[in-house]
Amino acid sequence: MTIAFAKTSLPIIGAPMAGGTTTPELTEAVARAGGFPFVAGGYLTVEALAPLITRMRETTSNFGVNLFAPNPVPVDREAFDDFVSALEPAAAARGITLDHEPVEDDDHFDDKLDWLTEHPVPLVSLTFNLPTAEAVDRLHAVGTQVVATVTSVPEARAAAEVGVDGLVVQGPRAGGHSGTADPTRTIEDRATVDLVRDILAEVDLPVAAGGGVDGEAMVGELLGAGASSVVVGTLLLRSDEAGTASTHRAALAADEFTETRLTRAFTGRPARALVNDFVRTFDPIAVDAYPAVHHLTKEFRAAAKKADDPHGLHLWAGTGYRSAQEGSAETIVKDLGAGFARE
């Protein structure tokens, strides 16, 4: 059976960027271009996710839904409290009172899985942790293909063992959160194309690959290494249809921001962002505590967004961020994938 993301006319996947960045308009533009669209299910309740899927069905019958798989990391209360105390002066300056009690949740995973087994979609991908064999079996039972996000060869092997149909290989140069199943590990820098080759040498599954994609040449390299499709996220952040905050859009093109870094400072889970004052100040004392830190800093980040302050905002960006262009996402996807159209 052909994996769903390989059935498109162009080998480009629009990354599921949760939190409002991947809008319905963005998924529709990716589909119109001939790419594979993902509905971003992270941070949403079933009630919020369901209409997005319904709308997607009106555009295409070939799409995916991305979920955050639960992966709680025990919170070191002493380290967490120290981080809260360090953040308090900056929060107070914005009129924000921080809660010292860690907030945990599973992102409504079970509810969303139940809904998706009652309203099947072509493909479900999971990130932040590998799916359980039970979850894979439940989705297979209703005809849904299952894809796992992996960041290493051991993760790829483990995903294959639970019966997934394909992999999204995410290199460490990708923007936003790393999909690693072990968010406490040190993530070493390497080219995505090398990771793809290493995984395909060990696992016989269809692969989509992303991370550090900065243009057509990189798309060709990843396809040449054996990927069926290439995932792009950062390159769509400045597109007309993306829900990217204006402050974030401006920072991606600003001379002021010259590098990206994997940091746990914003959410307690490694994520690549432009290096701003928040990263410089709090990354050295950041703690492994997702989603507790995510909830802790949420109001702070919202205030920075409202104040148009890029130095308090999570400016997610992969290493190819300088290649992000303004304009229609449909045109961006077509330009990236036209030279590699499937026969």
Residues 81 and 167 in one domain: no
Burial zone of 338 (CB within 10 Å; 0-12 exposed, 13-18 middle, 19+ buried): middle
CA–CA gap between residue 250 and residue 122 (Å, rounded): 36
Residues 285 and 147 in one domain: no
**In the prediction, which pLDDT does 253 show?**
97
Q: Residue 277's CB: how many other CB atoms inside 10 A?
A: 12
| Residues 135-170: tens digit of each pLDDT | 999 999 999 999 999 999 999 999 999 999 999 999
Residue 89: asked if its preceding bond is cis (omega within 30°), the reply is: no
Across 289-307, average pLDDT: 96
| Residues 9-38: tens digit of each pLDDT | 999 999 999 999 999 999 999 999 999 999
Residues 79 and 227 in one domain: no
Beta strand spans in 264-304 (E): 271-274
| Residues 167-188: tens digit of each pLDDT | 999 999 999 999 999 999 999 9
| C-alpha distance from residue 3 to each of 98, 100, 145, 168, 324 (Å) | 45, 45, 7, 12, 28
**In the prediction, which pLDDT does 72 show?**
79
Among positive and negative, which fits the CA dihedral 172, 21, 298, 41?
negative
Residues 186 and 333 in one domain: yes
Residues 12 and 140 in one domain: yes
Average pLDDT score over the chain: 97
CA–CA gap between residue 134 and residue 141 (Å, rounded): 11
**In the prediction, which pLDDT does 201 show?**
98
Across 87-99, average pLDDT: 94
Inter-residue contact 329 to 33 (CB < 8 Å): yes
Residues 185 and 333 in one domain: yes
Residue 305 in this model has a pLDDT that exceeds 90: yes
| Residues 36-59: tens digit of each pLDDT | 999 999 999 999 999 999 999 999
**Which residues neighbour 261 within 8 Å (Cβ) at sequence distance 6 or greater?**
272, 273, 275, 279, 283
Q: Residue 16's beta-bridge partner residues?
A: none
- The CATH number linked to 172 is 3.20.20.70
Residues 164 and 44 in one domain: yes
Residues 131 and 30 in one domain: yes
**Nearest alpha carbon to residue 206 among 277, 148, 144, 270:** 148
* Residue 117 is assigned to a structural domain of this protein: yes
Residues 92 and 111 in one domain: no
Residue 343 in this model has a pLDDT that exceeds 90: no
Residues 87 and 182 in one domain: no
**In the prediction, which pLDDT does 303 show?**
95
Residue-wise burial string across 204-228, b where 16 or more C-beta atoms lie within 10 A, e elsewhere: ebbbbbbbbbbebebbebbbebbbb
Residues 47 and 27 in one domain: yes
DSSP 3-state of 217: helix
Inter-residue contact 218 to 197 (CB < 8 Å): no
pLDDT above 70 coverage of the chain, percent: 100
* Residue 248 is assigned to a structural domain of this protein: no
Q: How many domains does the chain have?
A: 2
Split at pLDDT 50, 70, 90, the class of 314 is very high
**In the prediction, which pLDDT does 46 show?**
98
**In the prediction, which pLDDT does 73 show?**
83
Split at pLDDT 50, 70, 90, the class of 263 is very high
Split at pLDDT 50, 70, 90, the class of 326 is very high
- DSSP assignment of 10-36: S-EEE---TTTTS-HHHHHHHHHHT-B
Split at pLDDT 50, 70, 90, the class of 124 is very high
CA–CA gap between residue 68 and residue 126 (Å, rounded): 6
Across 203-216, average pLDDT: 98
Residue 276 in this model has a pLDDT that exceeds 90: yes
Full residue range of the structural domain in which residue 231 is found: 4-70+106-243+325-340
**In the prediction, which pLDDT does 161 show?**
98
Residue 306 in this model has a pLDDT that exceeds 80: yes
* Residue 157 is assigned to a structural domain of this protein: yes
**Nearest alpha carbon to residue 233 among 61, 3, 106, 66:** 66
Split at pLDDT 50, 70, 90, the class of 4 is very high
**In the prediction, which pLDDT does 1 show?**
79
**In the prediction, which pLDDT does 151 show?**
98
CA–CA gap between residue 112 and residue 90 (Å, rounded): 36
CA–CA gap between residue 180 and residue 130 (Å, rounded): 9
* Residue 46 is assigned to a structural domain of this protein: yes
